[in-house]
Amino acid sequence: MSGPCITGKARLAGVIGQPVSHSLSPVLHNYWLARHGIDGAYVPLCVAPEAFETAIRGLQAAGFRGANVTIPHKEAAFAIADEVDPMARIAGSVNTLVFREDGTIHGASTDGFGYIASLQVEGVAPPALAARGPALLLGAGGAARSIAVSLLEQGIAVRLANRTAARAAELAASITAAWTKHAGQSGADVTVCSWDSWEEELGGISLLVNTTSLGMEGGPNPAWKPDLSRAGSDLVVSDIVYVPRETPLLRSAAAHGLRTVGGLGMLLHQARPGFRAWFGADVEVDEATVRHVLA
Ligand code: ATR
């Protein structure tokens, strides 16, 4: 593949965060730009919280098409958007900003889309999961929130287990409130279970999702040993940790003969809606993309 071709007409976008040097988004978007022969560039933008609004207005003035937003700006991005999609409204956070020609800003939350797409490309159909039982999510941070809402949208009931029980209860309550208020739905099917006994729940669930940093290289417990012996044979096990690609949870699932879905797919698929909005092309997440991002 030839190198990037950036002319005076190049379309511009970037990722705003602090820190942002670890982000894989520039590698991913610039790879897709080169692969599709698009005259454009995607740059890392390290911006302090107090400078966020100034930076956004500056990017708009400079003709950027928009930006991805990462830690710690996702709530500020929600606040600055003139309108947001339903997922962002329920999540209360935005990871994709699109600057429109009329000067308004559209905000989207694409993590949930990325998660569901990562299941689908592995042949896991959400309606089949919904029919088999609830999903069990480990963790109660921002990732758990996006994934929980996207599962509810697919008709899949959600159970939450978190080390700090109060955070799981708060997350369940706030998702229920936001779901009822913004999505025009009746109650959200979100319940909480104990962190100490989540492994005992496995018999009745269709999907297990780790949204904590357990098992992550350099994380709090890279040698985590989850016990999946109570799982039914059709349990699908997924992990949003992607370093290493074979996490302790996925290794344990594979040892029990269970279907697994790794975390890299969510990371790559969540980038597709932004790329489409800024650069005008539908992009694919294939093995070549994965190899390039991990290289
Ligand atoms: P994110 O927004 O990326 O989801 P986060 O808000 O920091 O990140 O959430 C991290 C999750 O990992 C939390 O659910 C956290 O549990 P607590 O709420 O109890 O802190 C969970 N987590 C982190 N380290 C953990 C550990 N050693 N054991 C169990 N859970 C852990």
- Give the integer Cα–Cα distance in Å for 271 and 265: 10
CA 242 distance to own-chain centroid: 12
Please tell me if the CB atom of residue 166 comes closer than 6 angstroms to any atom of ligand 1: no
> Do residue 194 and residue 279 come from a single domain?
no
How many domains does the chain contain in total?
A: 2
Residue 158 makes CB contacts below 8 A (sequence gap 6+) with: 134, 135, 137, 148, 151, 152, 188, 189, 190, 191
Residue 224 alpha carbon to ligand 1 centre in Å = 14
> Do residue 244 and residue 288 come from a single domain?
no
Please tell me if the CB atom of residue 256 comes closer than 6 angstroms to any atom of ligand 1: no
Q: Which two tokens stand for residue 246?
A: 């074979």
In testing the pocket of ligand 1, which one of 93, 138, 149, 163 has its CB within 8 Å of the most ligand atoms? 163
> Do residue 105 and residue 161 come from a single domain?
no
Please check whether residue 13 is in contact with residue 42, taking contact to mean a CB–CB distance below 8 angstroms. Answer: yes
CATH classification at residue 288: 3.40.50.10860
- Give the integer Cα–Cα distance in Å for 265 and 76: 26
Q: Which two tokens stand for residue 172?
A: 């369940």
> Do residue 164 and residue 189 come from a single domain?
yes
- Specify the amino acid at residue 57: R
Residue-level pLDDT at 64: 98
Residue-level pLDDT at 188: 82
> Do residue 118 and residue 233 come from a single domain?
yes
Please tell me if the CB atom of residue 210 comes closer than 6 angstroms to any atom of ligand 1: no
- Specify the amino acid at residue 211: T
Please check whether residue 166 is in contact with residue 160, taking contact to mean a CB–CB distance below 8 angstroms. Answer: no
Residue 124 alpha carbon to ligand 1 centre in Å = 26
Please tell me if the CB atom of residue 134 comes closer than 6 angstroms to any atom of ligand 1: no
- Give the integer Cα–Cα distance in Å for 130 and 19: 38
> Do residue 125 and residue 67 come from a single domain?
no
| CA distances to 60, 65, 79, 83, 204 from 88, in Å | 21, 19, 11, 10, 30
Residue-level pLDDT at 184: 66
**Residue 97 belongs to some domain of the structure:** yes
> Do residue 68 and residue 40 come from a single domain?
yes
Q: Return the CA Rg of the chain.
A: 19
CATH classification at residue 130: 3.40.50.720
Please tell me if the CB atom of residue 139 comes closer than 6 angstroms to any atom of ligand 1: yes
Residue 220 alpha carbon to ligand 1 centre in Å = 9
Please tell me if the CB atom of residue 214 comes closer than 6 angstroms to any atom of ligand 1: yes
> Do residue 213 and residue 245 come from a single domain?
yes
Which of 62-76, 168-182, 251-265 has the weakest average pLDDT? 168-182
Residue-level pLDDT at 87: 87
Residue 82's domain spans which residues?
A: 11-110+271-294
> Do residue 155 and residue 280 come from a single domain?
no
Residue 210 alpha carbon to ligand 1 centre in Å = 10
> Do residue 281 and residue 250 come from a single domain?
no
Q: Read off the pLDDT band of 90 (50, 70, 90).
A: confident
pLDDT digits (tens, 9 = 90+) for 183-230: 666 678 999 999 999 999 999 999 999 999 999 988 888 889 999 999
- Give the integer Cα–Cα distance in Å for 139 and 123: 25
Mean pLDDT estimate for the chain: 94
In testing the pocket of ligand 1, which one of 71, 213, 247, 249 has its CB within 8 Å of the most ligand atoms? 213
Residue 140 alpha carbon to ligand 1 centre in Å = 7
Q: Which two tokens stand for residue 102?
A: 């009329």
For the four alpha carbons of 14, 17, 20 and 25, in that order, the dihedral sign comes to negative
User: Is the ipTM here above 0.90?
Assistant: yes
Q: Where are the alpha helices (DSSP H) in the chain?
A: 25-35, 52-61, 74-80, 86-91, 111-121, 126-132, 142-153, 165-182, 248-255, 264-269, 272-279, 287-294
> Do residue 185 and residue 255 come from a single domain?
yes
**Residue 135 belongs to some domain of the structure:** yes
